[in-house]
A and B are shown apart, each in its own frame.
Chain A
Amino acid sequence: MNIGVGLPTSTSGINAELLFEWAKRADAGPFSSLGVVDRVAYQNYEPFTALAAAAAVTRRVRLATMVVIAPLRNTAMLAKQAASLDALSGGRLTLGLAVGARGEDYAASGIESRGRGRRFGEQLEAIRDIWEEGKIGPTPKSPGPRVLVGGSSGEALARMARYADGYMHGGGPPRAFAGAAAKAVAAWSDLGRPGQPILWGMGYFALGDGTADAGAEYLRHYYAFTGPFAEKIAAGNLTSPGAITDFIRGYEDAGCDELVLFPTASSIEQVDRLAEVIG
């Protein structure tokens, strides 16, 4: 299993210097990828922009959107942005897409949230064709960036199995990942795709004195839209090396191919401390 690290693009106190330095250290460290989240009505950097910045100061790590809320973007522009980022990073993009969970992002974008599932399906059906046709460039090297789909509904899993290369889970304990992954594999097989879906997971961490509370506070804020569930997510923050290694082992046992751990505190030491834990 590969292990990646999230870029600090949504925690409090984010800034350009931190992002560049973080990306450089991740590139030099034991991480396979840099992940970013996507929201509109929130104080975070736009994911393609943040990954483009990271691409400029890195040579090796994969750059992953986890996940871009596709229906908020025009399909042609989404395809073009993704292809551009892929080209500028030397083919390092992994494009995670989903419908997202927040009505406020749709409202802020002036986009109807009803019918977003169907529109997302259309986008997935179209995006590879756009990359292939060559009219809207840059044309990526065939077959184009790897596309992963997130979401827990049966509809999301069917879309994933039809059009994507794999599944991107939205976070939670290893048992939750294992359950979702088993369904993703079942959907893949039911739709008659040969082989296996690629499986990505994610988690949250905060390492070092005093960061646990700040981390929990950030997660409560970030997930306030889930209501009382935010507390549960905050309680799942990994705040010790032991918790992180257990979590990694759990994901590995559940068949995860790549696990990306996102910071919940904005200090550069976080990436170093995580690097130490995963060695």
Chain B
Amino acid sequence: MRYAVIGGGPSGLYFALLAKKANPTEEVLVVERNPPDATFGWGVVFSEETLGALRDADYETYTEIGESFARWNAIDIYYRDTKIRSRGHVFTGISRKVLLDILQRRCRALGVRLEFEREVRDVAEFEGADLIVGADGINGLVRRTYGEFFKPQVAVHPTKYVWFGSDLPLDAFTFIFRRNDDGLFQVHAYPFDARTCTFIVECPEDAWRRAGLESANEADSIAYCEALFHPELRGRRLMSNRSLWLNFATLRQESWHHGNVVLLGDAAHTAHFSIGSGTKLAMEDSIALVDALRRHHDLGAALNDYEMERQPVVERFQEAALESSSYFEHVSRYAHFDPRQFAFNLLTRSRRISYINLTQRDPELVRTVDSWFNAAATGSPDGVVRLSPPPMFTPFRIGELTIPNRVAVAAGPDLEVAARMGGGLVITEFVSVTEDGRITPETPVIDRAEQDKLRSAVERIHQAGSCVALQLGHAGRRGSMRPHSEGVDRPLRKGWRLLAASPIAYTPHAALPKEMTAGDIAHAVKVFAASARAAAGCSLDALELNFAHGYLVAGFISPLTNRRTDEYGGSLENRMRFPLEVLDAVRAIWVGPLLVRISADDWAQGGIDLDDAVEIARLLKARGCDLIHAVMGQTVWEGRPDYRRLFGVAASDRIRNEAGIPTIATGNVTTADDVNTILAAGRADLCVLDLPSRG
């Protein structure tokens, strides 16, 4: 076999030496456009796991790499004039230049042909090769040549970043957050030998413009950043190496091979630098490709096998990297956090590290966070690390009410069955404010009988220690449906008359609702108020108004379902008029905690998105809503839902930290570990825990 490798970076060289080592009779050629000692970028980071893979793949280079490594186990977080150190994280870093030198020497020793300063203009130059390996990066020739087969998707990230080096000696992975008049800047810095570190500066584009960095040359950029991070640099210098401000691009491709051409590393995929895995993934690709070539006689089968092994791994990293980059893009949202919570949120940003993982790595930090969380929740003295329950079992105070723990349970028809789970807050099923506001014939109405039933159930639940919130709503155009045991949104054949903001049927076969008149609206407000009055006599702890999921009130909020031309339609202010009238009327009667459930995203084009949801939450907060229960979608029948793990948590996070109001998070939250992570990171104040009852 003859192999032609285009690109002499770590993945190309590592593939070449492994392939040659596996079979010395094979011809392996590496072509690189730059001279052997040219390198861009500073250091690269590896994990323990990668080191193990490198050891098994080639012991000689592993030993040399190991001798040149910087190793550390701490993460330092500089934020608001404090420094928090988290331990127990194992990292190793190496100078990219040293790494390339080790790999080049090993290649030569094994008999790999290396051609430097050769610019490849056409992949056809390697026509005689049995396998052409594209290791030439995200903008490389190979990828561009066969783009139609690889089906690339490139997502450009909004923040600006630049790679510097520094002679600052570090003994930890270091994050620095600093705000000046231009905006919030952050540094990702890590050592790669005893004297030098990589120093990446990242900021939002508007901050970058205000700082004049758009037109700055390298020296100007360095001067600006040196001044900005003067305290942390402790008088050390920043060094440039083609250090240009860039936007990171995440590359995904459906396929990484075509015919006898295969892609490695950044040519195949990229993952945001904030989880530091580019070179790691690239060298693991090399190992997997050589293994696959050894396993299969057939080239096509080998390349397919390589792709099948690596794609799921890379996808998981890309998902984590997207979470991580999104965190950094919106980090100013958390600028009001206590440093301990800020640190926990940062460390768990990619969702790969949870509360339990962090407890294993750094029990002391988690104890500190637990103590702070508990002190803040109970009003006990802060600053003392003491035995504290995990956040999930910390009480939550809302006005006069203390909810004993942070788990909210969505009850079905039997309230007491739900209460037995032990959640601090039991939220009733949808209870209608009026007969024709029911969803199905089984939906309870807040009449005398229901009030009596509620009162006695609530009293028993109180004795068991939980709190109860009554969920009040009006089904609107989602009413007159069959019982949910027969399906959801299946219209009754003979139902009742429906009301809605606009006359749009919920499903193709559902009844057309009547557009509400001013009189209907005034009446609905009164009915909500009357229901709140009825609820006041039921020993309940809280009221929750359902303004979500396409029911009556939600129908006014979403532009998809509100086509009114009066003062209740049009602008968000107008669309919120009826919801706020309902809220005002209920608030005037109900003195206890008042929760509002909203669909934070309509999951449909032209509908409410998270930006709107933050604005809606601000309006509700200003009128006396105490807590937002953030759910997703169901505004329209044909939405584009996404049921991934923790699907509603991002909405809760944004509403809580941008509108400044407590939240309940929902959406495929299934473990106590998820709940503790969400709470400790400040993404919600309570969580609805989905415990599927598999039987």
Contact = CB atoms under 8 A, between A and B. Distances in A.
Interface of A: 117-118, 121-122, 125-126, 128-129, 143, 153-155, 157-158, 161-164, 175, 182-187, 189-196, 227-229, 231-232, 235, 255
B618 interface: no
B647 A235 contact: no
B693 A196 contact: yes
Interface string B629-653: 0011110011111111101000000
Contacts of B632: 190
Interface in B219-272: 254-255, 257-258
A106 B524 CA distance: 47
Contact of A162 (B254, B487, B508, B647): B487
Q: Can you list the 3 inter-chain pairs with the closest CB atoms, starting with the nearest?
A: A154-B641, A186-B668, A231-B304
Contacts of B178: none
Nearest to B487: A163
Contacts of B258: 228
B690 A193 contact: no
B488 A154 contact: no
A146 to B, nearest CB: 13
A40 to B, nearest CB: 25
A191 B667 CA distance: 11
Contacts of B412: 194
Interface in B303-355: 304-305, 307-308, 312
A195 B413 CA distance: 13
A154 B255 contact: no
Q: Which of B301, B487, B489, B603 has most chain A Cβ within 10 Å?
A: B487
B489 A162 contact: yes
A196 B692 contact: yes
A73 B239 CA distance: 67
Interface of B: 149, 254-255, 257-258, 300-301, 304-305, 307-308, 312, 412, 484-490, 493, 507-509, 603, 631-634, 637-645, 647, 667-668, 690, 692-695
A228 B693 contact: no
Nearest to B304: A231
B488 A186 contact: no
Given A117-B638, A196-B692, A126 B509 contact: yes
B639 A121 contact: no
A265 to B, nearest CB: 19
10 contacts: A153-B640, A154-B642, A163-B487, A163-B488, A183-B644, A184-B643, A185-B692, A186-B643, A229-B254, A232-B307
B481 to A, nearest CB: 10
Given A183-B643, A255-B694, A128 B301 contact: no
A154 B638 CA distance: 10
B644 A125 contact: no
Contact of B304 (A194, A195, A235): A235
Contact of B668 (A128, A182, A192, A232): A182
Contacts of B305: 235
B643 A228 contact: no
A189 B692 contact: yes
Nearest to B258: A228
A121 B637 contact: yes
Nearest to A185: B692
Nearest to A190: B643
Nearest to A192: B484
B484 A125 contact: no
A158 B149 CA distance: 32
Contact of B507 (A125, A153, A196): A125
B638 A235 contact: no
Given A128-B487, A154-B640, A193-B484, A121 B647 contact: no
A184 B643 CA distance: 8
Given A186-B690, A189-B692, A232-B308, A155 B488 contact: no
- Chain A facing B: main interface SS: helix
A191 B643 contact: no
B509 A125 contact: yes
A228 B641 contact: no
A193 B305 CA distance: 40
B152 to A, nearest CB: 13
A122 B508 contact: yes
Nearest to B303: A231
Contacts of A163: 487-488, 490
Nearest to A255: B694
Contacts of A187: 641, 643
Contacts of A175: 312
A190 B644 CA distance: 12
A162 B308 contact: no
Contacts of B634: 190-191
Contacts of B255: 227-228
Contacts of A189: 668, 690, 692
Contacts of A184: 643
A278 B48 CA distance: 41
B182 to A, nearest CB: 40
Q: Which of A183, A186, A195 has most chain B Cβ within 10 Å?
A: A186
Contact of A228 (B254, B301, B631, B690): B254
A192 B634 CA distance: 11
Contacts of A143: 486
Contacts of A117: 638
B489 to A, nearest CB: 5
Q: Which of B305, B634, B638 has most chain A Cβ within 10 Å?
A: B638
Contacts of A192: 484, 488
B639 A235 contact: no
Contacts of A118: 638
Contact of A125 (B254, B490, B493): B490
Contacts of B308: 232, 235
B484 to A, nearest CB: 6
A246 to B, nearest CB: 16
Contacts of B690: 186, 189
B485 A194 contact: yes
A235 B490 CA distance: 42
Contacts of A122: 508-509
A183 B641 CA distance: 11
Contact of A155 (B507, B509, B638, B692): B638
Contacts of A153: 640
Contacts of B667: 186, 190
A230 to B, nearest CB: 10
Contacts of B693: 195-196
Contact of B488 (A193, A196, A232, A255): A193
Given A118-B638, A158-B639, A193-B488, A186 B647 contact: yes
Given A193-B488, A232-B307, 12 more contacts: A121-B637, A125-B489, A154-B641, A155-B639, A158-B641, A182-B668, A186-B643, A187-B641, A190-B668, A192-B484, A228-B255, A255-B694
A185 B300 CA distance: 38
Q: Which of B257, B258, B300, B634 has most chain A Cβ within 10 Å?
A: B634
Contact of B484 (A190, A194, A227, A228): A194
Contacts of B641: 154-155, 157-158, 187, 190
B640 A128 contact: no
B478 to A, nearest CB: 11
A122 B694 CA distance: 30
Nearest to B690: A189
Contacts of A191: 488, 634
A196 B694 contact: yes
A175 to B, nearest CB: 8
B430 to A, nearest CB: 8
Given A193-B484, A227-B255, A232-B308, A157 B638 contact: no
A232 B304 contact: yes
A190 B507 CA distance: 18
A235 B642 contact: no
Nearest to B413: A194
Q: Which of A162, A164, A227 has most chain B Cβ within 10 Å?
A: A162
Nearest to A163: B487
A122 B489 CA distance: 11
A221 to B, nearest CB: 15
